[in-house]
Structure formats: structure tokens, C-alpha cells
A = this chain, B = another copy of it.
Amino acid sequence: MQELQDGTRQEIDSIEREVLAVFVDGVRVLGLPPSIGEIYGLLFISQSPLSLDDLVKRLKISKGSASQGLRTLKSLGAVRETNGNGNGERRAYYEPAVELKRLVGGFIREQIRPHLDSGRHKIKRLGDLASTENDPKRRKFLLERTDRLDHWIRNGGRLLPMIQRILGQ
């Protein structure tokens, strides 16, 4: 088992480096840390699945980062566990999900929906608070604004399924 595998190569070559940079930038826009961009990026440009240990060695990141990063990527549905080289090996290997639909779906489910939902609740309470305002003029204004917030959230909620539908090829 001391045979060199593809994933065991140590060095990051120039095209790999550029791909990593693209994904590090990409995930930053989504509010995710660089390590996650590197992990997904390396999986994306690898022809065979990689293990946690491969990621640690090739990206020179800590086991902790690799473990947490993989967890997040799994929760987003952005990486899949494979049975590696097929035979019964303990070590887990990972490959990227490359369908945009799936990636966007996972991101919406994990990162957008929860915010929309908690926002909806907060805005509901806001409306209740607003209606307790004594000054009628002020109350009218507050209700107008909380109503507008409510509309924003609703529009956001309607938009998400459309986005997913449009990206479903």
C-alpha cells in the first residue's frame, strides 16, 4: 500500500493554484472561509476522490480545518463521500458535486432559508411592537415600515424557488 496514488502528489501545480484562487474568491462572496474554497477547489480539479489526509498534505492546512471544512461542504451538499478505490478501506474519500443546481440548492437551504425564516419571525414581532405605539402618527409610520419589511421577506421567499427552477438546466 506504499504505491503512489494520484491524490498523494504533494505539489500544487500552476493550474491547480489558479483554480484554488477562483474558488477562494468565489466562496468569500458567499461568506464562507478560504479553507472551504481551497478544499472544494482541489476536489473540483482532481480526477480522483481525495481523503482528508490528502487535503491536509496537498493544501498544507491543519486536520482541524480540513475536517470542519468537509463537514460544511457536506452539509451544503457540495461534496459526496465515495467508497474510495472500491475495496473495503476505512478511510473516507470525497468528490465534489458539480451540478450548479445542487450547489445552489444546498446553499439556499443551509444559508439563506434559515435567515429568511428568522427574519420573518423578527419582523412579525416588530409589527406587534409597532401596534403598541401610542402616538397615532408614529404608529401609522411604523406599521407602514414593518409592512414593507414583511413584503421584502415575502418577495425573497418567492424568489428562491424561481432561482432554483431557472438553474435546473
Chain A positions within 8 Å of B, measured between CB atoms, are: 14-15, 18-19, 21-22, 25-26, 29, 31, 44-45, 47, 98, 100, 111-112, 115, 118-119, 122-123, 125-126, 129-130, 133, 138, 141-142, 145, 148-149, 151-152, 155, 158-159, 162-163, 166-167
Point out the residue from B26, B122, B130 that lies within 8 Å of A22, measured CB to CB.
Answer: B122
Point out the residue from B15, B123, B159, B167 that lies within 8 Å of A142, measured CB to CB.
Answer: B15
Q: Please state if B151 and A100 are interface contacts (CB–CB under 8 Å).
A: yes
Report chain B residues within 8 Å CB of A44. Answer: 145
Looking at the assembled complex, report how far the CB atom of A145 sits from the nearest CB atom of chain B, in whole angstroms: 6
Tell me the bound Cα distance from A119 to B25 in angstroms.
8
Q: Please state if B148 and A26 are interface contacts (CB–CB under 8 Å).
A: no
Knowing A31-B31, A152-B100, A155-B167, the reply to whether A138 touches B22 (Cβ < 8 A) is no
| A14: nearest chain-B partner, CB-CB | B129
Report chain B residues within 8 Å CB of A14. Answer: 129
Most chain B C-beta atoms within 10 Å of own C-beta, residue among A19, A125, A138? A19
Q: Please state if A29 and B31 are interface contacts (CB–CB under 8 Å).
A: yes
Tell me the bound Cα distance from A93 to B104 in angstroms.
40
Tell me the bound Cα distance from A133 to B44 in angstroms.
17
Known: A15-B133, A44-B145, A159-B166. 12 other contacts (CB 8 A): A15-B126, A15-B142, A22-B123, A25-B115, A25-B122, A26-B119, A29-B31, A29-B112, A31-B31, A98-B145, A100-B155, A162-B162
